[in-house]
Amino acid sequence: MPTVDRCTAILLHISSLPGRYGIGDLGAGFAFVDFLVKAGVRVWQFLPTCPTSGAFCHSPYMGYSACAGNPLFISPDMMVDSGFIGAADSKVLEPSSEYSVDFDYAAAVRQPLFSKAYRRLSPEKRRLFEDFCRREHAWLDDFALFAVMRERFDQAAWNNWPLALVRRDADELAAFQRQNRQDVEFHKFCQYLFSEQWHRLQDYARQQGILLFGDIPIYVSHDSSDVWANQPCFDLDRGSGLPRHVAGVPPDYFSATGQRWGNPLYLWRHKGQVNKALYTWWRQRFKVLAGMLDLVRIDHFRAFESYWQIPAREKTAVKGVWQKGPGTFFFQEMTEALAHLQIVAEDLGMITPEVEKLRDELGFPGMKILQFAFDSDADNIYLPHNISDPNCLIYTGTHDNDTSVGWYFDTEVPERSKERLRRYANSDGRAIHHDFMRLALSSTARMAVLPMQDILGFGTDCRMNRPATVEGNWLWRCAPRYLNDDVAMFVRQENEFYGRLFFQESDTEDT
């Protein structure tokens, strides 16, 4: 895997790509890779690619499988190219908006196409599909069973299913498998389609020298195949199947009452011993990621040092307590699984010297956020002049922040912070997104990460997520006309000026 030297990344989730079918998909990823090459950008960062649920407003941080891919990202056009369906099958109505994701439309368009492709499997494609099922059986079998059971029981959470299935009685599971064999196989087939398209896009990115940078939520949703299939790994009430304690963070920048995420916590130790089943599950998770990505950001990395434990009965995160995490031992146990992944530690929020020590001992780069840099004084750790170690990533903002323009015009952001930014950037504020961008690019940080919204100067209406809220998130899409040569050339010139230009040898042949 290539070493990541001084470079730039663009943050744009797959759902935010342009496309004709209600949501960005893997087919649109090829054109975006081309855009990155033109822009001299080395890395494409995106959010988790897991399957999402309307029950959680399609948050990619509350997916119902840690290893499966989101079927909504499967490209109908690529299905035609691969011969799974005919060209006439993909002729569908245009979505209502190119600026917003329509999850219901995206699902309605794709489901009939998946069914047609499954029914028409050629002998050669079936052989490849069956090879995929054998290769990925460690997670795929439970995921497909879980997906069918959710359908059979009207999307009810798994702890509300018949007791024998909740407790995974072997005979009952085998009977359900027999009775629903075709539906279970169909869900496996959808995962095969996702995998086939992902690896085609991955191969193309590698040919162009572009690195894929993904995201792994440290926790998983309670209503997921992972928790249902691995109940001894999680802090659950054995009678009800519900979490005894849940994850979150104490009051912070984003919320005065903290954030109660609701995910079940891990049982790092079981009966006084290391929980071997949990470590096996993590190895499998990293193995899947290593086959898809070059880099991965571990969201909420600090929980490996200590995590906020909230009693499940509490409605907010205020009454939680800190508990010790597994620390260095965990990563020592994961050494082989992580051999082909570069890890980035999301070290934001309430970070202690112990968390910093763990991060530095492991050699993981952390994150610096420019929107946090102007709310105090010259000692603010996020100011570019205070970055003493280049082994970090500097962001104008993340998917959890407002856009740079939105931040600047937010009346709740103190005017003093905006004034400090203008002085620091020697700016009049008229192109504040470019000021943020250039501060990131000019820093000593090894990688500068620019959300696409900040490159384009978009406002709050294009924000991706508002932490501690549910409605209205994960919807923004980038219309195709914005990914044009003029924008790419602007980014390329900025990368060249600040010593971050990525180019392949072929780029220099004509110079």
Q: Which residues are catalytic?
A: 299, 346, 400
Query: Residue 504 and residue 506: Cα distance in Å, rounded?
Result: 5
Two structure tokens written together for 390? 């280049």
State how far the Cα of 67 lies from the Cα of 65, in Å rounded to an integer.
Answer: 6
CA distance 364 to 127: 40
**Residue 188 CB partners (closer than 8 Å, separation 6+):** 129, 132, 133, 140, 144
Distance CA(325)–CA(329), nearest Å, equals: 10
Alpha carbons within 13 A on the beta-carbon side of 454: 31
Place of tokens 């209503």: 223
* 321-324 sheet: strands from edge to edge: 259-264, 245-249, 306-311, 321-324
DSSP secondary-structure letter at 121?
-
Q: Which residues contact 117 (CB under 8 A, 6 or more apart)?
A: 79, 84, 85, 189, 193
Strand partners, 10: 44, 450
CA 367 to chain centre: 16
Whole-number Å distance between alpha carbons of 159 and 165 = 9
Write phi, then psi, for 122 (nearest 5 degrees).
-75, 160
Q: Between 137-152 and 170-179, two packed helices, what is the crossing angle to 10 degrees?
A: 70
3-state secondary structure at position 221: coil
**Closest Cα to residue 460, out of 395, 394, 393, 412?**
412
Give the sign of the dihedral formed by CA 448, CA 450, CA 454, CA 456. Answer: positive
Residues 497, 438: Cα–Cα separation, whole Å = 10
